[in-house]
Amino acid sequence: MRFAAACLLLIAPAAWAAPCGPFQRLEAPARSGWCAGVVADAKQGLRMPRTVLWVGREAGTDHLLVADMGSWEPRRGRLLHVRIDGKTGQVRIAEVLRQLDRPHGLRRGPDRRFYIAEATRISRLEWHHDGTRGPLQPVVQDLPAEGRHPLKQIAFATDGTLYIGVGAASDDCADQRSVQGGLPACPEMTGDRPQAAVYKARIDFDAGRITELKVFALGLRNSTALAVHATGTVLQGENNIDSGSTERFPAEEINRLEEGGHYGWPGCVENRKTLPGFDAAACRATKAPVLTMPAHSAPLHMAYGSDGLVVGWHGYRTAGRRIVRYAVDARGLPRGNPVVLLGPWTLGPNRFGAPVAWAEDDQGQLWIADDRNRMLLRLGPER
């Protein structure tokens, strides 16, 4: 599918306008009757916020946890506790953890603990609004993080299964692409801990350790967006190759993952389209996506909200800089064209909006992390 051309027009650089609730308004298109306010930015100490969780509201104060990657250098990441006064907009930020290794994924587990995905491990933390916490406990360790895509995404199923996205080391495996067993192959997808894969983990939540860890699906270049529906449907947002790409090629994908499935990397993109010089028969043997998204939209996070599947399009090109929502069927499969909830936005020359993750609160508002601009936003009704 192609995103509606009318929605891909650039807007003028954003300027601060009338307030959005107690916050400064982000001048950006938003769903009808809603606006986005800037909750916090670099002045409050944000460095590279990637993922946000809304964890509750007490006495008019919203409590959020934010995984701030810090930079692409190892061990610069932090877990932050952000408290926001809903009336005044006053923000207080405290460090919960520091020296994390490129944290990206952040989810609450079935055991009510918070799970943090660093480059090589998944750990859990017992934490409370009053600031008390237990020790950071590694649950899954020694995950591969070589190459271009070291970040890890995680998502839980209702039965407690944990899915872990492990990115490819390279863009397209270059001259090492081959066909094995009738399917696309790359040395990166071999060994005890292959890359370009999504893993499936079983956890003993009482003991805080894995009882099983295995590859669930292969041929996935960069799975920084994962979501699991209540029915068990597992979705992956594929950030496709850069080599040979254009403004419109190749499209990003939303894949429904099946155990043992192969989804085309490194030789196939979009709807099983063959890259130059690769084997077309091998591409036909791979799994086709549920739908495609615009090229370079760069889905870095997606999750089910109260009324559909919401995806952050992080890309800085024409198609990116948006939060969009897809309608879903009873199985959680997205259908039709996306509805833009927010975006695009531009803050000045070469300062493009860069939404990563979002979290929905009990009023349906979205709290959004923009890593490139070091911002935390709230998208909610005009007030």
DSSP string, 106-127: EEE-TTS-EEEE-SS-EEEE-B
For residue 297, give the amino acid letter: S
For residues 76-80, average pLDDT: 98
pTM of the model: 0.94
- Do you know the residue count of the chain? 383
3-state helix, strand, coil in the chain (%, to 5): 5, 45, 50
For residues 63-90, average pLDDT: 97
pLDDT of the residue at 383: 77
Q: Is the pLDDT of residue 10 over 90?
A: no
**Nearest by Cα to 344 from 356, 336, 332, 352:** 352
For residues 53-57, average pLDDT: 97
Domain that holds residue 139: 45-333
For residues 128-142, average pLDDT: 95
CA dihedral sign, ordered 107, 156, 125, 62: positive
CA dihedral sign, ordered 239, 242, 245, 247: positive
Residue 381 resides in a domain:
no
Q: Is the pLDDT of residue 128 over 50?
A: yes
Residue 4 resides in a domain:
no
For residues 267-287, average pLDDT: 97
For residues 104-122, average pLDDT: 98
pLDDT band at 2 (very low <50, low <70, confident <90, very high): very low
The number of folded domains in the chain is 1
Q: What's the gap between Cα 280 and its chain centre?
A: 30
Please state, in angstroms and rounded to a whole number, the distance separating the CA atoms of residues 41 and 29: 20
pLDDT in tens, 16-38: 468 999 999 999 999 999 999 99
Task: Provide, rounded to the nearest whole percent, the portion of the chain with pLDDT above 90.
Answer: 92
**CATH code for the domain in which residue 61 is found:** 2.120.10.30
Residue 36 resides in a domain:
no
pLDDT top residue among 7 and 74? 74
pLDDT band at 14 (very low <50, low <70, confident <90, very high): very low
Residue 320 resides in a domain:
yes
pLDDT of the residue at 317: 87
Residue 262 resides in a domain:
yes
Residue 365 resides in a domain:
no
Straight-line distance from the first to the last Cα atom of the chain, in angstroms, rounded to the nearest whole number: 36
Residue 379 resides in a domain:
no
CA dihedral sign, ordered 158, 139, 67, 321: negative
For residue 195, give the amino acid letter: Q
Q: What is the DSSP string of 227-250?
A: EE-TTS-EEEEE----TT-BTTBS
pLDDT in tens, 169-223: 999 999 999 999 999 999 999 999 999 999 999 999 999 999 999 999 999 999 9
Residue showing tokens 């936005």? 345
Q: Are 169 and 148 in contact (CB under 8 A)?
A: yes
Residue 377 resides in a domain:
no
Q: Which two tokens stand for residue 66?
A: 């934010």
Please state, in angstroms and rounded to a whole number, the distance separating the CA atoms of residues 168 and 157: 24
Q: Is the pLDDT of residue 133 over 90?
A: yes
For residues 52-69, average pLDDT: 97
pLDDT in tens, 83-93: 999 999 999 99
